[in-house]
């Protein structure tokens, strides 16, 4: 059996520390559209650069039946809605207590219309009014979005289902709000795979926890990834042989295999070590097909949305950098500026690639090499960026809080915050699913 040199193994550590790190709700809420009107003004959805946020107010949710109590569970869901919308970077949340509104039930029904004047006085652009009812374990949520400038209701939705689906209801309404305001739906509820200890985990944007992936703890799992159809893959060390696992099936067993990634057509690619080098290989048959050979270390493939191009890490110029080459193989051109660069991630729009520079900070660059922007700085070590399926957000991991945690930010670096702050385990190597969540 061919063994990779110690230099190869040592150099591979620039990709990520080989630490051994799910959420699968499988439920959908009943949803009734109360009414909807197209947005009057759309926010530009390119978040690279400075932009003005819209002022948003979310008053305390009211009971659907007047004078009924509003329980803690409902208030938790309201806080989730506020956190979701704040996370996007599009909104500045205003304190509803600053309003002079005298009727908290205004706007909850056509018979009781919203008075826009108190909200205009505090500079609000949008108001979300919510009402809820909990009968046993069955929840009904009614939420409405109002455009203060035009004095119109832009969106109204009613959701019914088990209380356990309340967060899913909130995530779906968040996506509807973003559709009404920006013309593009949000990605709350989309899945993110990551590593925690020896386990592959799944969570969602807008979730509070994560769930382990069945079968990932059987050996030392590493480098999880997710593709279309929520297909999962990871590598693991089984005895002295490395395995590439796809859909809980061993696709390859042999030499060191690292950092797999799905191509848009579902084919897997990964770094595969030989006697003197590690190169990108395609695992579309029994025998892996090597497609790079420009350096001693070439790993971390990521693909353009149409699958024609591949960005990857190569040390062919002496220092690890980001290169772009045809996915079928061929000479790569260096994309990243001088200095060590790793962890590339191709935007689903196809125009940008995120990567890590100096093993510390996350940057983005246009595919033609222009438009370099650094997104993090002075906040510990930030690694392994991955774009959301709409390209408007990035997930990554950072030790800025004293331990490895997943963070999310807008694609311009704004609103950097923990993704699942209450999850206590180690959190590294996230990959965002390319699939948009269901709207219904």
Could you report the per-residue pLDDT of 30-57, keeping only the tens digit for each?
444 443 333 333 333 344 443 568 999 9
Instruction: Return the exposure string of 244-257: e unless at least 16 CB atoms fall within 10 Å of the residue's CB, then b.
Output: bbbeeeebbeebbb
The pairing of strands 126-135 and 152-162 is: unpaired
Which residue ranges of the chain lie beneath pLDDT 70? 1-52, 216-219, 440
Q: In whole angstroms, how far apart are CA 18 and each of 9, 61, 259?
A: 11, 46, 11
pLDDT at 188: 97
pLDDT at 4: 41
Q: ∠ CA 161-187-156 to the nearest 5 degrees? A: 50
pLDDT at 217: 65
Radius of gyration of the chain (CA): 23
pLDDT at 28: 34
Nearest-CA neighbor of 124 among 180, 40, 41, 57?
Answer: 57
Instruction: Return the exposure string of 337-369: e unless at least 16 CB atoms fall within 10 Å of the residue's CB, then b.
Output: eeebbbbbbbbbeebbbbbbbebbbbbbbebee
Q: Which CATH number fits domain 6-21+188-432: 3.30.70.2740, 2.120.10.30, 3.20.20.450, 2.60.120.10?
A: 2.120.10.30
Q: DSSP alpha helices (H): ranges in 4-59?
A: 6-12
CA 180/CA 15 separation, integer angstroms? 40
Q: Which CATH number fits domain 40-182: 3.90.1150.10, 1.10.260.40, 3.40.50.10070, 3.40.47.10?
A: 3.40.50.10070
pLDDT at 219: 65
Phi, psi of 421 (to 5 degrees): -60, -25
pLDDT at 437: 93
pLDDT at 220: 80
pLDDT at 432: 98
* Backbone angle region of 61, left / alpha / beta, with phi > 0 → left and psi within -120 to 50 → alpha: beta
Q: Is the dihedral of CA 188, 190, 193, 196 positive or negative?
A: positive
Q: What is the largest CA-CA distance in the chain?
A: 78
**Residues of each domain in the chain carrying CATH 2.120.10.30:** 6-21+188-432
* CB of 303 closer than 8 Å to CB of 267: no
Nearest-CA neighbor of 113 among 175, 170, 156?
Answer: 156
Report the length, in residues, of the chain: 440
* CB of 157 closer than 8 Å to CB of 32: yes
**Residues of each domain in the chain carrying CATH 3.40.50.10070:** 40-182
pLDDT at 17: 37
């Amino acid at each position: 059996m061919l063994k990779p040199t110690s230099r190869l193994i040592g150099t591979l550590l620039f990709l990520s520390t080989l630490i051994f790190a799910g959420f699968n709700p499988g439920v959908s809420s009943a949803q009734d559209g109360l009414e909807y009107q197209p947005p009057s003004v759309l926010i530009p959805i390119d978040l690279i650069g400075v932009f003005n946020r819209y002022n948003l107010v979310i008053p305390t949710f009211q009971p659907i039946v007047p004078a009924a109590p509003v329980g803690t569970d409902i208030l938790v869901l309201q806080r989730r809605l506020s956190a979701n919308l704040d996370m996007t970077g599009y909104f500045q949340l205003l304190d509803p207590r600053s309003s002079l509104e005298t009727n908290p039930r205004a706007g909850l029904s056509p018979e009781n219309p919203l008075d826009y004047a108190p909200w205009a006085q505090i500079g609000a652009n949008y108001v979300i009014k919510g009402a809820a009812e909990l009968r046993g374990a069955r929840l009904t949520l009614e939420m409405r979005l109002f455009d203060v400038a035009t004095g119109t209701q832009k969106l109204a939705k009613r959701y019914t289902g088990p209380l356990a689906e309340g967060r899913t209801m909130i995530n779906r309404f968040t996506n509807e709000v973003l559709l009404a305001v920006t013309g593009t739906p949000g990605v709350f509820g989309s899945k993110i795979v990551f590593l925690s200890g020896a386990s592959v985990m799944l969570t969602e944007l807008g979730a509070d926890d994560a769930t382990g992936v069945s079968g990932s703890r059987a050996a030392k799992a590493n480098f999880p990834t997710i593709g279309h159809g929520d297909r999962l893959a990871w590598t693991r060390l089984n005895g002295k042989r490395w395995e590439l696992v796809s859909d809980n099936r061993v696709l390859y067993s042999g030499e060191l295999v690292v950092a797999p990634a799905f191509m848009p057509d579902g084919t897997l690619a990964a770094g595969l070590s030989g006697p003197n080098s590690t190169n990108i290989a395609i695992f579309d048959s029994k025998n892996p097909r090597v497609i790079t050979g420009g350096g001693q270390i070439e790993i971390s493939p990521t693909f353009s949305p149409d699958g024609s191009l591949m960005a990857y890490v190569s040390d062919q110029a002496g220092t690890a950098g980001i290169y772009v080459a045809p996915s079928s193989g061929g000479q790569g051109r260096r994309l990243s500026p001088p200095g060590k660069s790793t962890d590339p991630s191709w935007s689903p729009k196809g125009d940008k690639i995120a990567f890590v520079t100096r093993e510390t900070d996350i940057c983005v660059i246009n595919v033609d090499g222009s438009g370099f922007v650094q997104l993090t700085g002075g906040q510990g070590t930030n690694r392994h960026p991955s774009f959301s399926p709409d390209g408007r957000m990035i997930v990554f991991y950072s030790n800025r809080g004293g331990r490895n945690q997943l963070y999310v930010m807008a694609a311009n670096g704004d609103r950097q915050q923990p993704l699942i702050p209450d999850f206590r385990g180690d959190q590294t190597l996230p990959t965002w699913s390319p699939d948009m969540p269901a709207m219904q």
